[in-house]
Amino acid sequence: MVIKLKPYNPSASDMDSGWQVIDADDKILGRLATEIAWKLMGKDKPGYVPYLLSGDYVVVINAEKIKITGKKAEQKEYIRHSQYPGNRKVIPYGRMQAQHPDRIIIQAVKGMLPRTKLGRKMLGRMKVYKGPEHPHAAQIIGTETTSIASGDA
């Protein structure tokens, strides 16, 4: 006798979200962005489903201490355009690192998330801060997954 098992499809109420703190001090930008995107999508959890918001909230601290490898410090550029002719803005990595180090991490993670409504919600769950202080201490204390050590991945 063959018994057919129905697959378990979790609903949005079955998902629980924790808060995780990631220290970006002396970490490589791409590897850190991959780790953050993985946690925002919820792929580190056994109950991952691609169509639900199943990831955790992620707080990134020490964004100004991020590292990049090779010649990217001299060659990398951030380009934006307003769709008007001649209005292309090119910002070199050095100036972006000095003025807005949090935007570097945000753009790297944004490129690794899905380009959908769900991906935009996932990106909204990431908080990036320049220094070691952040205003989310109360949320982090109340969860089981409190923080990630800088050497773990």
Q: What is the pLDDT of residue 145?
A: 52
Q: What is the pLDDT of residue 153?
A: 46
Q: What is the pLDDT of residue 108?
A: 97
Q: Which CATH number covers residue 23?
A: 3.90.1180.10
Q: What is the pLDDT of residue 27?
A: 96
Q: What is the pLDDT of residue 141?
A: 81
Q: Which ranges of 1-153 does DSSP label H, i.e. alpha helix?
A: 29-41, 72-75, 93-99, 101-110, 117-124, 137-141
CA distance 149 to 122: 22
Residue 12 lies in a domain: no
Residue 22 lies in a domain: yes
Give the chain's domain count: 1
Q: What is the pLDDT of residue 15?
A: 87
Q: What is the mean pLDDT of the chain?
A: 91
**Which range of residues forms the domain containing residue 36?**
17-141
This prediction's pTM: 0.86
Give me the residues of the chain with pLDDT under 70, please.
144-153
CA distance 113 to 92: 24
Residue 10 lies in a domain: no
Residue 26 lies in a domain: yes
Q: What is the pLDDT of residue 146?
A: 47
